[in-house]
């Protein structure tokens, strides 16, 4: 029986290996040994999501391949960055996994306290563990939207040994030109994932997304939204994990059909130029406001290349650029200034 069990184990490990882009940070044996613990299940989920998304994107861009880069953080943990550059369909597509642990920096703790977290440090030290999968996909064709998603889990041990934990994440779309059909498909797919768990979630997290991806100095959103949430720690660990899992599983179906529909659309040099200007806005948001980028830049030993993977290969900033009234360029700006309800 023991022989059969170990053969079973090996078979299962081999199957997991096939699905992942690289061996997991915590090691496959260790993850399977502690498979009942939520931390292990979350790490398996982010590894699986990375594999799923990379395979789906590679299938759309057969001439290109993902460079798989495994890195270690001397303070604890590491990650796997998968980046495809200069393909036929994707200018740059990155899907990152990171699993880091150690002591929270004073800066990062301050950022969390400012969000209302009461963190009681022991001798000024707060052990933490953070893991997540995050991705930004910048296509070449201006008729294919940029997409971003991120799902993460955080755990902090306070002075008295109690653990604070929460999940965060979201998926959002940034088109260069507005296509209503795409917007509806994207939002509907995310709504279905949320509705499986609670009908209140989609409207709440859709609004949160519109409010979060707001470029204050421009008075416009980064894109047409999706869902976004952070600091979610109820109703229970298991229920939130299952919800996050549904969201992660919705990534491929909400985006891949849109890429397929438009990756061969013809476009003009003017449309490409508008895409470059919109990319500039993307960069502005990520460097000025994005909490994940800020947290990464404040965490000692974090990997800058992986954090800034979200930036496009190319972007443009023109002085005082204003699109002509009632143009397709003006149409998207209108939606970025006044978010719409896409599913009702």
Query: For the chain, how many helices (H) and strands (E)?
Result: 12, 9
Task: Report pLDDT for 86.
Answer: 93
What value, to the nearest 5°, has the Cα angle with vertex 229 and ends 239 and 305?
110
Confidence of residue 177 (pLDDT cuts 50, 70, 90): very high
> What are 264-277's pLDDT values in tens digits?
999 999 999 999 99
Judge whether residue 153 has pLDDT over 90: yes
Burial class (CB in 10 A: 0-12, 13-18, 19+), 214: middle
Confidence of residue 263 (pLDDT cuts 50, 70, 90): very high
Task: Report pLDDT for 93.
Answer: 96
Residue 333 CB: number of other CB atoms within 10 A?
17
> Is 343 inside a domain boundary?
no
> Is 163 inside a domain boundary?
yes
Whose tokens are 């880091």? That residue is: 100
> Is 12 inside a domain boundary?
no
CA–CA dist 85, 91 (Å, integer): 6
CB-CB contact of 177 with 143 (8 Å)? yes
CB-CB contact of 336 with 176 (8 Å)? no
- Annotated catalytic residue within 138, 148, 187, 197: 148
> Is 3 inside a domain boundary?
no
Confidence of residue 9 (pLDDT cuts 50, 70, 90): confident
Helix orientation angle between 251-262 and 180-195, rounded to the nearest 10 degrees:
170
**Contact partners, residue 84, CB within 8 Å, separation at least 6:** 54, 57, 58, 61, 64, 65, 66, 67, 90, 92, 93, 94
Please give the residue that has the higher pLDDT: either 79 or 113: 79
Residue ranges making up the domain that contains 323: 18-337
CB-CB contact of 299 with 228 (8 Å)? no
Give the three-state DSSP class for 240.
helix
CATH of the domain at 172: 3.40.1500.10
CA–CA dist 70, 134 (Å, integer): 15
pTM, two decimals, is: 0.93
> Is 38 inside a domain boundary?
yes
Judge whether residue 52 has pLDDT over 90: yes
Judge whether residue 304 has pLDDT over 80: yes
Query: Which element (helix H / strand E) includes 166?
Result: strand 163-174
Give 329's Cβ-side CA count (13 Å radius): 15
Task: Report pLDDT for 2.
Answer: 63
User: How is 128-160 classified by DSSP, letter by letter?
Assistant: EEEEEEEEEEEESSTTS-EEEEEEEEEEEE-TT
Confidence of residue 109 (pLDDT cuts 50, 70, 90): confident
CB-CB contact of 119 with 126 (8 Å)? yes
Q: In whole numbers, what is the pLDDT of the chain averaged over residues?
A: 93
> Is 8 inside a domain boundary?
no
**Which region among 21-25, 34-38, 215-219, 300-304 has the lowest average model confidence (pLDDT)?**
300-304
The domain tally of the chain equals 1
Does residue 148 have an active-site annotation? yes
Cβ-count burial 25-59 (b if 16+ within 10 Å, e if not)? bbebeebeeeeeebbbbbbbbbbbbbbbbbeebbe
**Contact partners, residue 311, CB within 8 Å, separation at least 6:** 282, 283, 286
> Is 342 inside a domain boundary?
no
Give 167's Cβ-side CA count (13 Å radius): 26
CA–CA dist 155, 145 (Å, integer): 33
> Is 41 inside a domain boundary?
yes
Give the three-state DSSP class for 278.
helix
């Amino acid at each position: 029986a023991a022989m059969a069990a170990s053969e079973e184990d090996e078979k299962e490990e081999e199957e997991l290996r096939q699905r992942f882009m690289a061996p997991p940070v915590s090691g496959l044996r260790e993850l399977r040994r502690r498979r009942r613990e939520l931390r292990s299940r979350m790490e398996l989920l982010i590894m699986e999501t990375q594999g799923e998304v990379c395979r789906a994107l590679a299938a759309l861009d057969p001439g290109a391949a993902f460079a798989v880069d495994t890195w270690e953080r001397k303070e604890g943990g590491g990650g796997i960055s998968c980046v495809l550059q200069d393909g036929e369909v994707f200018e740059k597509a990155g899907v990152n996994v990171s699993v880091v642990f150690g002591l929270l920096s004073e800066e990062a703790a301050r950022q969390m306290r400012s969000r209302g977290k009461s963190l009681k440090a022991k001798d000024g030290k707060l052990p933490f563990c953070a893991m997540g999968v995050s991705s930004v996909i910048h296509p070449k064709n201006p008729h294919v939207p940029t997409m971003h998603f991120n799902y993460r889990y955080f755990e902090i041990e306070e002075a008295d040994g109690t653990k604070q934990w929460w999940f965060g994440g979201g998926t959002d779309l940034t088109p260069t030109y507005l296509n209503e059909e795409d917007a509806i498909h994207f939002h509907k797919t995310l709504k279905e994932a949320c509705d499986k768990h609670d009908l209140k979630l989609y409207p709440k997290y859709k609004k949160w997304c519109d409010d979060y991806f707001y470029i204050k100095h421009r008075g416009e959103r980064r894109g047409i939204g999706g869902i976004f949430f952070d600091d979610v720690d109820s109703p229970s660990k298991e229920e939130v994990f299952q919800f996050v899992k549904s969201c992660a599983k919705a990534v491929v179906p909400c985006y891949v059909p849109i890429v397929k529909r438009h990756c061969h659309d013809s476009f003009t040099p003017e449309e490409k130029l508008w895409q470059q200007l919109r990319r500039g806005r993307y960069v502005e948001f990520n460097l000025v406001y994005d909490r994940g980028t800020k947290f990464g830049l404040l965490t000692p030993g974090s990997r800058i290349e992986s954090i800034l993977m979200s930036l496009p290969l190319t972007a443009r900033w023109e002085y005082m650029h204003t699109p002509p009234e009632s143009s397709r360029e003006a149409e998207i700006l209108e939606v970025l200034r006044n978010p719409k309800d896409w599913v009702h």
